[in-house]
Every structure is written in structure tokens, then in C-alpha cells.
Structure 1
Amino acid sequence: MKRFPAITANPKVASFRSIPAATQPWKESGSPWKSTLFRLLQSHEIDEAARFFARIPSPGVQLYTMMINGYCRINRLDQAFRLFERMPARDAAAWNSMIKAALDCGELDLGRKLFDEMPGRNVISWTTMVNGLSQFGRVDAAEDLFFRMPLRDTAAWNAMISAYCDNGRVADARSMFDKMPQPNLISWTAMIGGHDQNGESDKALCLFSELWMTRMKLTPRTYACILTVCANASELQLGIQLHAHLVRTSYSLDPFVSTSLVNLYAKCKQIEDSSKLFTEKQEKDVVSWTALITGYGLNDRHEDALKEFDKMTASPVRPNQSTFTSALNSCCGLQALERGKKIHATTVKLGLDLDMFVKNSLIVLYSKCGDIDDSLTLFNCMDRRNLVSWNSIIMGCAQNGYGSFAIELFDDMTKLNVQPDEITYTGLLTACSHSRMLEKGRNIFHMLERDPSVEVKLEHYSCMVDILGRCAMFEEAEELIRNMPMEPNATIWLALLSACRIHANIEVARRISKKVFDIDPENSATYVLLSNIYASAGQWNDVSQTRLMMRSRGITKVPAASWITLKGMRHEFVCGDRSHPMATEVYKKLDWLVGKLKELGYIHDTRFALHDVDDEQKEAVLAYHSEKLALAFGLISTVEGMGFVLVEIAGDLGCVGGAFAAQLGGSGDDGQEHGLRHRRERAFSSPSTCNYTEPSYTAVKVAP
């Protein structure tokens, strides 16, 4: 960012106090200069406006201020500053405009110097500075300035309430709101929004009830705020009642209100209603389009989200940072790395790739798709990082087997005085789990317990149980669960049951499975996992009894699925699937590969297949496992220059293809070079250690 010299260091303006203030109104308000300059600035013709301004003989304070504001709107602070220096006299409006411009352009020190140098500061000057300090997170300094104000109007009170809310001090904001002499509608709206954005949607709704009883006339902005609260609190019925009221008052046609309605129905899982409202909008702007794209993503309709994104980019509406963030999140949901890279390229063209929120989404995309190297490159190139940036890269390293590096990143983060939150600790514990770092995991969990700013949640206990289970510390894991301050759920017991499969601990598995059945008897994963544990030990009677119990309770297993994204299209396979248009070619390729691998000594792992099926049938089932079908399709579909193809494996059989993939390497007789890597390969060397509940990823690099 461009730096500006200290005001007092500038020889031409040793002190702005030496320049006379405007003591009388300038006679230019009705002049043709003002109307023409206003028109040029409104149409964003800044260079033409500058040339026109240069031809005005002796422009007054008002015209100078208009031109300064024009420069500031497009972040040309240096030109605005030079123009400000040239002013023969300045009034309070000119000073306030320049202070606000400096703050909006990220120059807090310059804004504060201007404020300190300003003669005759008025309430607007003080309020502008309070807002500026708040946007830089200096809420204590803003508070000090607020209480030093010689005179406070309602706008000043509102500024301090917003400062508290924006910096997480919602209790202080509410205390100030309650002390206000005369809160106006902006005050009510700010406080309602403050409760909501700080996770207190219930208090926001209560405050709205109080506002409604005042009979104060509400504006579209306030209604938009209330609809957002309803969306975040999943209060669909209240939202529908408000919608009906807004239709009667014609406020539903307001751009802010209609966009909030799109968001409401999307967040309340009524995505079709959300889409219908968007279609009916007369003017589709970037905010409403982004709300719909985000809504599709929240409802796991990622393909539809990306289709809407394509429609938007083909229209005159230009996407913003939030749009790209939502589109990239949908790419994550589809594991569509190539599509994500195209969107990444678009952000570069539009100059939005440097935006911190966009970069955070890119870090998540690349790491979730197994490309941790590019994820780290993006992180290292960031000029500015927030806690989300650190959490994203720590979790990315954790999920890709770089456990030790995730810990190193955390050490760097704490050295920079970035305070961890609950997500940070989840990432660190996940890193220790995937990389089997028992002592590191214990130390981090104890650090979490001692951290007064973070509440230890069930998710953290689940991660710690997973660490202990993977390291065969079953007694310690069970003791931890027994001593938890909250009731254990099925997930935490399943983590321990999964560890029983890794270590073939039948005794603990029997005990743990009963606890899961008591909590969630309809969870098919428990039956499948227990059955596989028995099968691996050759206890076929127990396998049959488990599956019989599953059938008698009407519980069906969700088939394991694998999918691959090529040229923006997702191809999904299940075990033995022959519905794909290229099924003949896929099976032919897979049969050829299996034959070649058998020559190299590869054998199918039939431990988990039912005992009443002969070996040939077992091998036939395993040969056409969904992951292997996806791999074969990737190989026949990949052409020169395509690089890595990413396949996500979901379900309880994900490790079968991983073992197959581990053997598929080097140069094949098909004229292709196969270089495969399995996700978390640094954490595990044996496919039997895979956790059945976690997706696995295989990257296939094909060269002619």
C-alpha cells in the first residue's frame, strides 16, 4: 500500500492550522460548475472531471471537496491529498472528507494526524474517527475517543455501538444501547444486527419484538436486517409472516429486502422458493446473485451454484469477493479442482486474487483437493492474514498428512500474537490424529483445557479419542469419554470403534458397539464397521448375526461411492456399476490393469468379504470396486497435458482402491506413465489403517 508522508514533515504544510478556515459560504452552489462536475463524478469519469476542474477559475471549498471525494471513492488517496494541500481555505466538510478518505484507504495514521491537526472539530469529525478506529479493530481507542467527545449526537452513539458489535463486545454494545437518551431506528437496527452477528440470534429476535411494540416506522434496511436474523436462526415461519407483511406494504420489491428473502429461504432449506424469488427479481444485482449461489452451496446443490455463477459471469453483473468465495466453496464441495483453477484465473484477471477472503477460499480448495503445495504457496504469498487464513492452512496440512508442519505453523501463528480459537485446536488435534502424534496431541489438548478464551467442545474430545484410539490407548480413551463434562454422542464412540478395526480389538469393539446402538440404533455405519471387525478376525457367526440384526431393524447400508471430475463434469461410480456411458471401456481398462498388477504380485484383500461367498466371487466384487472404476475411467479419459486427476472416495470401502492405487505405479505397457499418490500417504503406509469414515483421495498423473 502506498505510504504518505507525515503531515508535519511536509515543508509546504508544516501545520494545517496555519491555513485559514472558510468562514463564509462560497457563492457557487447554484453555479454551472457544480452541476457539471457532479455529473462527471457520478458517472465515474474521474479523469474528465479532473480536466474540467482544472479549467474552473478560483474553485471554492465545495468544489474542492467534491473533487476530493471523487478521488477517494476510487482509492486515489495521493491525488486527493495533493488537492487538499492546494486548498486556499478549508471548512469542516473538507477536513471530514479527507479524514474519512484516509481511513477508508487504510491509512489510519494519516487519518489520525488529520484529525489531530483539524481546527474546530465538530461531532462529525469525532464520529468519523470513532468509526475509523473501529474498522481497524482499535475498539479501546475508539471507546476512549468516544468518552472524550465534547458533544455526542445519536450518530456518535450509533458509531460506538457498531464498534463494539463489530469487535465482538456485544455486551458492551447492549449496555450502551440501553443508556442511549433517544435511540433511533438506526440504533435499533445496529443492535439487532450486532446480536445476530455475534451468535445471539435469539436476543436479536427479542429486541425486534421490543422494536415492533414501539410502533416506529421501519425502513427496508431494518426489515432486511430482521430477515437475516430469521435466516441465521432458521426461523422460517417468522420469516414467512414477515414476507407476507412486506408484500402487503410493497417493501418486498426493495432490492435489500428481496435479496434478504432469497437468503432467508436458501438458509432455511427452501432453495426452490429462493430460486423463484430470485428469478422474479426485476433487477439482479451482485448481492442477490451471490445470495442465490451461496444458498445453492448451503443446500449441497453445488452444480446449480456453479451454473448460476456461469450465468452471472456471462451477464453485465460483475462478481465480487463474496461471489468468488461462494463459487470456490462449491468447487470444494464437488472436488472440482480444475474448475476451481479456472475461477482462480478469473480472480487474477479482475484483481481480486489478492483479497484475503478469496485467498482463504483458494487455500481451502487446493488443500481439500490434495494439492497442499499450491495451498502453501498461496498462504506464503498473502500480504495480510487473519485467523481464518491460519486455520485453513493448519487444517489443510492436517488432512494431507503434514502433521508436524501443521504444528510448526501453529507455533509461527502464536509468535505473531494471533489468538487461536476452537477451529484452530480442532485442526491441530486432527493433525496429531492423522499423523499419530500421541504426545503432541496430549500436549495440545492440555493447552486447550488451560486456554480461558476457548471452550472445550465435544468435537475436541472426539479428536482426542481418535488420537488415543489410533495409538491403541483404549483404556485412556474410554476414561476420557467417561470424564467428559457433556454426554457423549454416537460420533465419539464411532471414532473409538473405528480404532478397534485398526487394531483388531474385538473385546473393546463389542463393548463400544452396544453404547452406539443405545444412542443411535439406526446408524448403518455402526453395523457395517462392527461386521468388518468380526470379518477381519474370521468370526463369521458374529458377522451374520450383525447383518441379520441390521436387516431385522430395516436398516440399509448406503453404497460406497467414488467420483471423478473431468472438464467440469462429475462422474460417479458405485461397486459393480455398469450404468456409465463408457462402462464397456472402463471395465476393459480395469481388467487389463488388474491382470498386469497380478503379474507384479498384487492380490485382492478379501478379509472383509462374506464367508459364504467363494474366492472367485469375492475377487470379482473387489475387482470392480467403485474407486477402481473411477481410476480406470480417469486413465482412459485423461489426455496429454491434463496433469493430475483427483478422485474422492466416500463410504466404508474407501481403502480398497487405495491399496490398488498403491500398486499402480511406474510405466505401464499401455504407453502411459502412472504416478499415483494417496492422500495422507505421509501418515500411513498400510491401507488397513485407513479410517472408514474419512474420504480418501488419489491423484493420477498421466503422461504419454
Structure 2
Amino acid sequence: MGKMSFWRSRTTSFCRVISDHITYKKLCNSRRFFGTISCSGVNVCTKLINSHAKNGRLKDALHLFDEMPFRDTISWNSIVKGCLDCGNLTMARNLFDEMPERNVVSWTTMISGYMRFGKVEVAEGLFKEMCFRDVAVWNSMIYGYFSNGRVCEAVKVFEEMPCRNIISWTSMISGLDQNGRSVDALRIFKKMVGYGIEPTASTFPCLITACANSMAIELGTQIHARVVKLGCVGEEFIASSFITFYANCKQPENSSKIFKENVHDSVVVWTSLLTGYSSNSKHSDAFAVFNDMIKLGIIPNESSFTSVLNSCCALMSLGKGQVVHAEVIKLGFEVSSFVGNSLVTLYSRCGSILDAIKAFERIKVKNLVSWNSIIVGSAHHGCANCVFTLLAQILRTGVEPDEITLTGLLTAASHSGMFLKGRQFFHFFSKYTLIKMNVQHYACVVDIMCRSGELDEAEDFIKNMPIKANSPLLLNLLTACQTHSNIEIAERVSKYILDLDPHCSAVYTLLSNLYASAGRWSDVSRVRTQMKRGKIGKQEGWSWLHQHEEQPDVQSGNISHPIAYLC
């Protein structure tokens, strides 16, 4: 008896050591340690199989599995799961079919794998084959359906479940919310409470996120009070969820209050606060949070960098952006498409298109957003040839252009005076691609016509558009009328705009200037009288000035500001 206890204790110790090696990915050490064990039990081998699979070494895991003298159901389940985790669905199914005995975990693992790979129908077939189903496999089906956007099927499975646990309810709340049905998610929560089921620490983050997405400020506040009473508001994911909730509800001061109530060293919590400030246009505060993270040694993640770069972009602060970029380089995030895309946007909007191109070239896997960011940025800088070269490259990679890509192409043609090229792009993409033309595309074509002085054609084009023109599009034509001194078209276009927006001050200002240029002073007086009667004032101008890393807003005509004399 004592000997058996010794070996049981020894095996437990081996498993614990191997688990430590898995955590720190010291596979070589764990393999060397395994080689010193004279009589290796099935538990030790199973731990090593998990170790190899978790670190992507499927070949080693399979080799070890083949050499095992004895295999139990747990070891079979481990190797099947390992194959799925390493992306080898075919091998996982082959091993599943070879299993001498299967338990509920075996079936659940295989069903989850098929759902993960989008093979919903195959997963459904396995589910129907099962003789006995526990609550875990029902939960797996719910999660799988939601992961594949099959909301109705998930709801049906939930309703048919013979028995539900808190995981079932949490999966429903999370799944509905993630599929754009946050209000339904909150209804499920109320139903859950009605059955007397108490939410757990894992339920609260899903629930708070649903409140944030549906702007349910009253319910969210009630849940906050409940969490405070339970004493778990300081937990990482709960705290970050509440910070995001209040930020989404336009209460960043409450986000800051929750953050300050507890000491956090979690990048998730810090990033939630940073993103909350950024989404509420408190960009200087967002940058300050990022600086504090660096000072305290909290390593930013992709989301941290994306949010702070967006704030630098909104501030039009190239200097702040370069400070962040330096940290991006240190941590090796330049190759990330998420961070790289933000860098491209920052540099292009701050007037440094060459740096934008460099940031684009360093992105390892370029997605459609990457291509659109550099195309639109280059277009606004008048680099038409660069844009057309990028178009050729994107087509070669097999990435399908979209509405934003076309907007960039048309803008490039317009800003570079390539009017014929712009029209050719518009006609080609509208006729031969699946891109749905929107008002922005038509506005670009109108801009092309206006810049080339073809005002009559631009007016006819607007009249024959399949979608209704908006005020900015018509104002573009009106501005061109002033440039080309075409009063006749200007008067017609002005009527169109005022029908859409009777208080558009720009129409009166442009018409007044046009009449003044033609010496029609009685018409100038008439337009100004109409403005006074309608109490229509000119829109105030604002200037942004950088002074010692500060960016004050200076209103035109306001001489009270200390640096107003610079405007």
C-alpha cells in the first residue's frame, strides 16, 4: 500500500512539473525530464501529449501517442483535441473513428472541432448520433452555432435543452450580443434572473458588454451596484467591461472613476480606459494613459496601440504619433496589420505620405483595410501614379477592391487632373464589378467634371443619378459655378440645396460672392436680406495650432485667446 502511494505521489509530482514546463513552453526540458522517468504512466504521457499539441508540435504528440503501451479514453481525447488545436481536422476525425471507446468528452471535442472549422452540418450529424448528451455538449452546440452566425439554430437548441446550467445562459447572453442582438441578450438575462439563477463572475463581463452595446445605462448601473455588493468589481475582465460600458454610454468620467478605485497592472484594463477616452474624443487623456502605461512597465497590446494612434491622428499630432511608433518598433508590432494600418492612416493624414508608405511596406499580411488606407492616403496627397500602381498590386494579390478602394481611385484621378481616367474607373467598376455605388462615388465624379469645367454635364449627371444627391455634393457644383462664373447653373443648384437644407449658410455666401463678382449689387443685397430675415449666420471658422505639444482650438474673430494673433 505504501509503495502504491509512493508511485501515485511520484506520478502526481511528474505531472505537476510537466505542467509547469507547458506553462513556460520549455518543451526541450520537459522531454529531457520525461526521458529520466523509468516507468511512465498514462497520465504523464497524456500531459506530454497536451504539452506538444499546445505548442504546435503535433508530430511529436502523435509519435508519443503511438509509442504509448497503454492508452485510456483520456489520452485518446487528448490527441484528438491536439489535432484540432493544430488545425488537422482530418487526422482528428480518423483518430476519433479509431477510438475503442468514446465518452461524452470525445463526442463534445469532435463536435466543437467541426463547429470551429465551420462544418456545422457534420457537427449536427454527430450530435444526433449521440446516445447520451450531457449539458456540456448542448452548450457546445449553442456556442458553435453562434460562432458561425447561426443565431436561430442556437436559440432553438437552448429552448430544447432538457437541463441548463449557468454556462448555457452565459453562452446565450454572449452569443446574442456578439451577433448584434444585444437587446435580446438582456431579455435572456432577465429571464435567467426570473428563474432564480444568479450570474457568476464569468457572466458579468458578457452582460455588461451587452448593456454597453445596447446603451442600457439604467440596467448597467443596476448591475454595477450588484457587482460592487458582491465585491468582485476589481476583477480584471469585470473592471474592463464596466470601463467600456460607461465609455460607450458617453460617461468617460465614470470609466476613470472605476479605474482609479482599484490598482491594476492588467493591460486589458488599461487599454479599456485608453480606448474609452479615444472613443469619447478625449484624445489628450488617451495619450496620457498610454504614457503612464509605458512608465509603469505595462506592455501595450495591439488594441492599445491602435487606440492611441487613432487619438494621435485625431489630434493631427505627428510628434505624438512618432513617440508611439517608437514603442511599436521596440515591441515588434510594425508587422501587425491592425497597428500598421493605424500607422499608415496617421502618417498620411499628418502629411507624411513617405512614412505612410514605409509603414505599409512593413505590414506582414496586408488585408483590404491596409490597401485602402494607403490608396486613400496617397490619393489625398495627389500621388495618382502611386495609387494606380497599388491598384495593380492589390489585383495581383487576389484581394477584391471595395467601395473605399473606388473612392480612393476616383479621388486620385480628380486631384491629379486625370479626368478621363476617373470616368473610366467609374464606368468600369459600376458595370463590371459587384461594388454598389454610393453618393460618395457620384460626388467624386461630379468633382471630376467640375474641375474640368464641364458644369452642364455635371448638372445633367446629378439629375440622372439613381440616388438622391446630398448637400455636400451639390455644394461642390455650386463652388465650381463661382470658380467658372456660371450664375445660371448656380441659381438652379442653390434652389436644390435650399430645398434640402433651408439654413445652409454656404449657399447664401457663395451666391452673394458670385453676384458681387458679376457686379449685380441688387442681387447681393437681396441675398443678404434673406440671410438676415432667416437669421442665417455664416459658420464660424476654427484653427488648430500646436504650441508646446498643446493644441488649443482658436475661433475665428475671437481675440480673447492668448494666441489668437497667430490666426
Report the TM-score when normalising by structure 2: 0.79
1:555 equivalenced with 2:537 (yes/no): yes
Counterpart of 2:430 (choices 440, 446, 449) is 446
Q: Report the Cα distance in structure 2 between the residues aligned to 1:464 and 1:169, rounded to whole angstroms.
A: 40
1:304 equivalenced with 2:285 (yes/no): yes
SS at match of 1:561: strand
Q: Report the Cα distance in structure 1 between the residues aligned to 2:332 and 2:355, rounded to whole angstroms.
A: 19
Deviation at residue 262 of structure 1 after TM alignment: 0.7
Residues 10-89 of structure 1 aligned to structure 2 (within 5 Å) = 27=8, 31-38=12-19, 52-70=33-51, 87-89=68-70
Question: Do the aligned partners of 1:262 and 1:291 also contact (CA within 8 Å) in 2?
Answer: yes
Residues 386-401 of structure 1 aligned to structure 2 (within 5 Å) = 386-401=367-382
Any idea what the Cα deviations from partners look like across 1:11-68, whole Å, max 9, x if unmatched?
A: xxxxxxxxxxxxxxx9568733334444565577777656654544333232333345
Q: Percent identity?
A: 40
SS at match of 1:220: coil
Deviation at residue 200 of structure 1 after TM alignment: 4.2
Residue segments in structure 2 that go unaligned for 5+ positions in a row = 1-6
Deviation at residue 285 of structure 1 after TM alignment: 1.6
Any idea what the Cα deviations from partners look like across 1:60-111, whole Å, max 9, x if unmatched?
A: 232333345456556666776676566554444445445555655xx42x45
Deviation at residue 559 of structure 1 after TM alignment: 1.9
* Structure 1 residues 500 and 288, CA gap change in structure 2 (3 angstroms): farther
Q: Report the Cα distance in structure 2 between the residues aligned to 1:488 and 1:117, rounded to whole angstroms.
A: 61
Question: Do the aligned partners of 2:410 and 2:422 also contact (CA within 8 Å) in 1?
Answer: no
Residues 684-699 of structure 1 aligned to structure 2 (within 5 Å) = none
Answer with 511-520 or 258-267: which moved more.
Answer: 511-520
Any idea what the Cα deviations from partners look like across 1:187-233, whole Å, max 9, x if unmatched?
A: 44444444444444455455555555554432333332232233233
Q: Report the Cα distance in structure 2 between the residues aligned to 1:503 and 1:172, rounded to whole angstroms.
A: 61
User: Where does residue 507 of structure 1 map in the other structure?
Assistant: 488
Residues 533-544 of structure 1 aligned to structure 2 (within 5 Å) = 533-534=514-515
1:222 equivalenced with 2:206 (yes/no): no
1:261 equivalenced with 2:209 (yes/no): no
Residues 97-496 of structure 1 aligned to structure 2 (within 5 Å) = 97-98=78-79, 100-101=81-82, 104=85, 107-108=86-87, 110=88, 112-118=90-96, 119-120=98-99, 124=105, 127-128=108-109, 131=112, 138-139=117-118, 141-149=119-127, 150-151=129-130, 154-156=135-137, 158-159=139-140, 161-168=142-149, 170=151, 185-208=166-189, 210-211=191-192, 213-250=194-231, 252-403=233-384, 405-406=386-387, 409-410=390-391, 412-413=393-394, 416-435=397-416, 436=419, 437-443=421-427, 446-447=430-431, 451=434, 457-472=438-453, 474=455, 489-496=470-477
Any idea what the Cα deviations from partners look like across 1:248-298, whole Å, max 9, x if unmatched?
A: 454544432221111111122211121111111343421121111111111
The amino acid that maps onto 1:557 is Q
Which has the bigger relative contact order, CA under 8 A and spacing at least 6?
Answer: 1
Q: Report the Cα distance in structure 1 between the residues aligned to 2:188 and 2:462, rounded to whole angstroms.
A: 39
Deviation at residue 306 of structure 1 after TM alignment: 1.0
Q: Report the Cα distance in structure 2 between the residues aligned to 1:432 and 1:170, rounded to whole angstroms.
A: 44
Q: Report the Cα distance in structure 2 between the residues aligned to 1:412 and 1:177, rounded to whole angstroms.
A: 47
The amino acid that maps onto 1:113 is M
The amino acid that maps onto 1:218 is P
Any idea what the Cα deviations from partners look like across 1:566-589, whole Å, max 9, x if unmatched?
A: 7x5547667799899899xxx9xx
* Structure 1 residues 308 and 485, CA gap change in structure 2 (3 angstroms): same
Deviation at residue 324 of structure 1 after TM alignment: 1.3
Q: Report the Cα distance in structure 2 between the residues aligned to 1:495 and 1:202, rounded to whole angstroms.
A: 41
* Structure 1 residues 154 and 353, CA gap change in structure 2 (3 angstroms): farther
Question: Do the aligned partners of 1:99 and 1:112 also contact (CA within 8 Å) in 2?
Answer: no
Question: Do the aligned partners of 1:438 and 1:468 also contact (CA within 8 Å) in 2?
Answer: no
User: Where does residue 497 of structure 1 map in the other structure?
Assistant: 478
Question: Do the aligned partners of 1:28 and 1:60 also contact (CA within 8 Å) in 2?
Answer: no
Q: Report the Cα distance in structure 2 between the residues aligned to 1:220 and 1:579, rounded to whole angstroms.
A: 53
Question: Do the aligned partners of 2:334 and 2:340 also contact (CA within 8 Å) in 1?
Answer: yes
Question: Do the aligned partners of 1:227 and 1:260 also contact (CA within 8 Å) in 2?
Answer: yes
Over aligned residue pairs, what C-alpha RMSD do you find? 4.3
Question: Number of residues paired by the alignment?
Answer: 551
The amino acid that maps onto 1:228 is T
Any idea what the Cα deviations from partners look like across 1:586-645, whole Å, max 9, x if unmatched?
A: x9xxxxxxxxxxxxxxxxxxxxxxxxxxxxxxxxxxxx7x4xxxxxxxxxxxxxxxxxxx
Q: Hey, which of these two has a bigger chunk of helix by percent?
A: 2
Answer with 318-327 or 155-164: which moved more.
Answer: 155-164
Q: Report the Cα distance in structure 1 between the residues aligned to 2:226 and 2:344, rounded to whole angstroms.
A: 43
Question: Do the aligned partners of 1:170 and 1:195 also contact (CA within 8 Å) in 2?
Answer: yes
Question: Do the aligned partners of 1:332 and 1:365 also contact (CA within 8 Å) in 2?
Answer: yes
Report the TM-score when normalising by structure 1: 0.65
The amino acid that maps onto 1:559 is G
Residue segments in structure 1 that go unaligned for 5+ positions in a row = 1-25, 588-623, 627-704
The amino acid that maps onto 2:371 is W
Q: Report the Cα distance in structure 2 between the residues aligned to 1:411 and 1:207, rounded to whole angstroms.
A: 50
The amino acid that maps onto 1:271 is P
Q: Report the Cα distance in structure 2 between the residues aligned to 1:497 and 1:538, rounded to whole angstroms.
A: 18
SS at match of 2:537: coil
Q: Report the Cα distance in structure 1 between the residues aligned to 2:529 and 2:91, rounded to whole angstroms.
A: 78
* Structure 1 residues 71 and 260, CA gap change in structure 2 (3 angstroms): same
The amino acid that maps onto 2:426 is R
* Structure 1 residues 415 and 557, CA gap change in structure 2 (3 angstroms): same
Question: Do the aligned partners of 1:366 and 1:372 also contact (CA within 8 Å) in 2?
Answer: yes
* Structure 1 residues 325 and 516, CA gap change in structure 2 (3 angstroms): same
Q: Report the Cα distance in structure 1 between the residues aligned to 2:48 and 2:397, rounded to whole angstroms.
A: 40
* Structure 1 residues 43 and 432, CA gap change in structure 2 (3 angstroms): same
Deviation at residue 309 of structure 1 after TM alignment: 0.6
Question: Do the aligned partners of 1:394 and 1:428 also contact (CA within 8 Å) in 2?
Answer: yes
* Structure 1 residues 79 and 179, CA gap change in structure 2 (3 angstroms): same
Any idea what the Cα deviations from partners look like across 1:651-696, whole Å, max 9, x if unmatched?
A: xxxxxxxxxxxxxxxxxxxxxxxxxxxxxxxxxxxxxxxxxxxxxx
SS at match of 1:352: coil
User: Where does residue 654 of structure 1 map in the other structure?
Assistant: none
Any idea what the Cα deviations from partners look like across 1:348-406, whole Å, max 9, x if unmatched?
A: 32233333322222232233333334434444444433333333333333333344654
Deviation at residue 310 of structure 1 after TM alignment: 0.9
Q: Report the Cα distance in structure 1 between the residues aligned to 2:507 and 2:350, rounded to whole angstroms.
A: 28
The amino acid that maps onto 2:261 is E
Question: Do the aligned partners of 1:550 and 1:556 also contact (CA within 8 Å) in 2?
Answer: no
* Structure 1 residues 377 and 476, CA gap change in structure 2 (3 angstroms): same
SS at match of 1:317: coil
